[in-house]
Amino acid sequence: MDALTLIAKGRCDYLQTYRAMQAYSAVRGVSTPDQIWLCEHERVFTLGLAGRSEHLLVTSSIPVVATDRGGQVTYHGPGQVVAYPLMDLKRAGYYVKEYVYRIEEAVIRTLRDWGVTGHRVAGAPGIYVRLDDPAGHASLPAKGSAGAPNFAGLGKIAALGVKVSRHCAYHGVALNVAMDLTPFEFINPCGYPGLRTVDLSTIGVTVGWEEAAAALGQRLAVGLLP
């Protein structure tokens, strides 16, 4: 498998980017190259296939776009790096579960570069940090009642949602760098009431968008190779 090509698109419209991902994936052939698009979007709420309107808590001027990715509702906005790997998983030789694991691992390794420890929470895709000790390695709390995810003391710093059609994956992961987090208060992030969302700036890491995009892109480009 050839190396993944990084394409820094910068600030771009979400809906146009979503349609471009669909179009790219729809016409893929066996020799179509895999790519990673690095984007920053204007303010937008996006709903996954399971998205329910009750998770939109406040009516606002921020547009809402229904998509074909997995998951519930999330928010994209300036100061957030959104990485879209466009991959042929059959050619890569692994299944969706491993693909998601590899994306999460790339985020964890990116955070580690800035002294931040990223955590997985069972049953809740994405990456989380300890609010009281972002660099700490202590084990996470046990699951909540009835086996539900336990977010006590945690903040979500990266959200993940993918779509796979004909073995071809698109959508991806959003890493919060330095953004206005207020719109996350207008929703139940990823469908979880009360889940706090944070960015690198909130936990004391100062890094520019371009640097963060380059770092995450490189980790993904290496981590997604077979």
Q: Which residues are catalytic?
A: 190
- The answer to whether 201 touches 159, Cβ cutoff 8 Å, is no
Per-residue CA distances from 207 to 8, 17, 73, 224 (Å) = 17, 25, 26, 24
Compute the distance between CA of residue 219 and CA of residue 198 in angstroms, rounded to an integer.
Answer: 21
Which distant-in-sequence residues (6+ apart) come within 8 Å of 47 by Cβ?
A: 64, 65, 66, 67, 72, 73
Cα dihedral: 204, 210, 12, 30 (round 10): -120
Tokens of 94: 């692994």
Helix (H) or strand (E) holding 211: helix 209-223
φ, ψ for residue 215, nearest 5 deg = -65, -50
Tokens of 176: 């919060």
Is beta strand 119-121 parallel, antiparallel or unpaired with respect to 80-88?
Answer: unpaired
Tokens of 76: 């994209």
